Amino acid sequence: MTTSPDIEPGRLSAEDYDRNFADVHPPLDRKSALIDASRCYFCHDAPCIEACPTGIDIPSFIRKISTDNVRGAAIDILKENIMGGACARVCPTEVLCEQACVRTAQENKPVRIGLLQRYATDHLMADGGHPFERAPASGKRIAVVGGGPAGLACAHRLSMLGHEATVFETRPKAGGLNEFGIAAYKVPDNFAQREVDFILELGGIELRLGQTLGLNLNLPDLRREYDAVFLGIGQAGVRKLGLAGEELQGVHNAVDFIEGLRQAQDLSRLSVGRRIVVIGGGNTAIDIAVQTKRLGAEDVTLVYRRGPEAMSATGHEQEFAQVNGVRIRHWAQPAGLIGEDGRIAAVEFEYTELDSAGRLSGTGERFRLEADMVFKAIGQAFIASPVQSGTADLLEIADGRIAVDEEGRTSLPDVWAGGDCVAGEDLTVQAVQDGKVAAHAIDRFLRD
C-alpha cells in the first residue's frame, strides 16, 4: 500500500472557520426564554432537581425568569453552582435535568433547562458586579491545588465562608477542562476565562500559575504552610493503545490536540489531514472528531470497540457527530498502526463481539482504514506520584484515584480532594459539586 499524507493548514476560508467554530447553541432571547419558562410545571418534588449534581432549584429559577427577575434566577443558579454559565453550555442536560423533566415523559419535549440557565447567568455576568459577599475573615488559609472546575468552585465557596484560598495551577491559565479540554464551539468568545474572572471578583482568592505538584510544589510543604489542602488535580495521564507504532508521526493524543486548538489564535494555521481516524467512544472522541471535520478534514471515522449504547458519549453527542459528517463504526478494536516513511498511513482494526460470558473478544476478522492522522481518545488516567512524593503520610489510592469519603476528605485529616482525580467522570458539573461539598467540610473542620 502506498499513500501520500495530505496534512496542511488553511483548508477553509476565514468565513468557514468563523461559522464552524461559532456558538453551537445560540442563546435564547427574552421572548423565547419567557415561552420556554411558561412550559415549566414548577413541580413541588421536582425530579429535575434530583437529577442535577449540584442541586440547583430549577423550578425556582425558571419561575423567576417567567416574572422577568432574571438576576434573581441567576443567583438561584450560582449559589449552588458558581460555574452555572459553563455548565449551561457543556453539561449533558439531555441525560440529567432535561431527561428527568416531567415534560419529557409526557411529550418527549423537555423544558430547555440548559438554555434557560444560560439566559439567566449570561445576563448577570453582562450586567457586572459579583452577586455574593464574603463572610467575616476567619484568618484561615487553604491551599487549592488545581485551577479547574473543582478547585475554583472550592476556592470560591471557601472565600464566601470567610477563608483565604490560594489556587495553584500548573498551566498558564486557570479554567481546567473548560479552558483546555472542551470543543471550541461549545464555549466560544473566551467564555471560560471570563467565568474565571467572574469567580475571582469575589476576592479572597489568590491565583498562582505555573505551579505543579511534584515539581515546584509538594504536599508536605502545603500541609505545613496552610490550614487545609484541597486537591483538584484532574487526570494528567493519557492511556495508550499498547500497539507498536504509537510514535509514528500523525498519531496524536486527542486531549493534546484539543488543547492546542483551544489556545490557537488563528485556526487557519492548524494543520489537519484529509483522512482522520479517531479511536474511542467518549466526549473527547466526539469533540476531536467533529472539530477536525470543522477544520476541513474530508473523511473522519470514529471507531469504538462496543455498541453505541456502551459509549460514554451521550446519544445526543453521537447524533451531533453524525450530523456533522463523522462516520461512527462500532464493534471494532485497533489491532495495528501501519506506517510509511515514519508517518501513519493506516490503522488495522479487528471486529469484536461479546462471548457467551459477556466478555469482549476479537473475531479474528480484520479491516483497514487509511489515515493521515490518528487520534487516541481512550481515556485519561490519574497519576498518583505527585501526591505521594516527599512524605511518609501517603494518600490512600483506590481504583487508581484518590480515595475520599462522602465529603471529599482523604486518608489525611487535613486534605480533601474532588473532581476527576477522585471520580474520573469528566463532568464539569460533578467537579463543581465536589469542590463545593469539600469547601463546607473544610469550613467545619477549621471551626471545630
**What CATH number corresponds to the domain at position 113?**
1.10.1060.10
Give the domain-ending residue among 319, 350, 379: 379
Contact between 98 and 151 (Cβ < 8 Å): no
DSSP strands (E only) in 392-446: 397-398, 401-402, 415-417
286 and 318 together in one domain: yes
Q: In what order do the strands lie in the sheet with 205-209?
A: 205-209, 164-169, 141-145, 228-231, 415-417
Report, in angstroms and rounded to the nearest whole number, the Rg of the chain calculated over CA atoms.
Answer: 23
Residue 430 included in any domain: yes
118 and 201 together in one domain: no
Residue 18 included in any domain: no
220 and 281 together in one domain: no
Residue 415 included in any domain: yes
User: What was the pLDDT predicted at 399?
Assistant: 87
In this prediction, residues 107-134 reach a mean pLDDT of: 96
Half-sphere exposure in the Cβ direction for 354 (13 Å, CA): 8
Residue 431 included in any domain: yes
pLDDT digits 0-9 by tens, 230-287: 999 999 888 999 999 999 999 999 999 999 999 999 999 999 999 999 999 999 999 9
With 70 as the cut, is the pLDDT of residue 352 above it?
Answer: yes
d(CA 130, CA 201): 6
* Secondary structure letter of residue 181 according to DSSP: T
230: enclosing H helix or E strand: strand 228-231
Domain that holds residue 171: 141-236+382-447
Question: pLDDT over 70 for what percent of the chain?
Answer: 97
93-107, 131-145, 422-436: the lowest-pLDDT one: 422-436
Q: What is the mean pLDDT of the chain?
A: 94
Give the domain-ending residue among 338, 354, 379: 379
With 80 as the cut, is the pLDDT of residue 201 above it?
Answer: yes
Give the domain-ending residue among 379, 410, 433: 379
Residue 3 included in any domain: no
With 90 as the cut, is the pLDDT of residue 72 above it?
Answer: yes
Number of domains composing the chain: 3
User: What was the pLDDT predicted at 232?
Assistant: 97
Residue 8 included in any domain: no
In this prediction, residues 114-141 reach a mean pLDDT of: 96
β-bridge mates for residue 165, sequence order? 142, 205
The alpha carbon of 409 is separated from its chain's Cα centroid by a whole number of angstroms, namely 23
For residue 7, with 0-12 CB atoms within 10 Å meaning exposed, 13-18 middle and 19 or more buried, which class applies?
middle
33-37, 94-98, 125-129, 261-265: the lowest-pLDDT one: 125-129
In this prediction, residues 16-20 reach a mean pLDDT of: 96
Q: Which residues touch 231 (CB under 8 Å, ≥6 apart)? A: 145, 146, 213, 387, 402, 410, 415, 416, 417, 418, 421
Question: pLDDT over 90 for what percent of the chain?
Answer: 89
264 and 362 together in one domain: yes
Query: Which residue, 257, 398, 374, 381, is CA-closest to 3?
Result: 374
With 60 as the cut, is the pLDDT of residue 20 above it?
Answer: yes
Cell matching residue 59: 423550578
147 and 246 together in one domain: no
User: What was the pLDDT predicted at 236?
Assistant: 84
Contact between 259 and 178 (Cβ < 8 Å): no
User: How many other β-carbons are positioned within 10 Å of the β-carbon of residue 377?
Assistant: 28
* Secondary structure letter of residue 239 according to DSSP: -
User: What was the pLDDT predicted at 424?
Assistant: 66
With 60 as the cut, is the pLDDT of residue 392 above it?
Answer: no
d(CA 15, CA 152): 35
In this prediction, residues 328-357 reach a mean pLDDT of: 96
pTM of the predicted structure, to 2 decimals: 0.94
Cell matching residue 222: 502545603
294 and 338 together in one domain: yes
Query: Which residue, 340, 339, 357, 356, is CA-closest to 348?
Result: 339
pLDDT digits 0-9 by tens, 79-96: 999 999 999 999 999 999
User: What was the pLDDT predicted at 430?
Assistant: 96
User: What was the pLDDT predicted at 1?
Assistant: 45
User: What was the pLDDT predicted at 349?
Assistant: 98
CATH code, 191: 3.50.50.60
Which pairing describes strands 205-209 and 164-169: parallel, antiparallel, or unpaired? parallel
pLDDT digits 0-9 by tens, 296-312: 999 999 999 999 999 99
d(CA 330, CA 167): 42
User: What was the pLDDT predicted at 160?
Assistant: 98
Confidence of residue 2 (pLDDT cuts 50, 70, 90): very low
Residue 17 included in any domain: no
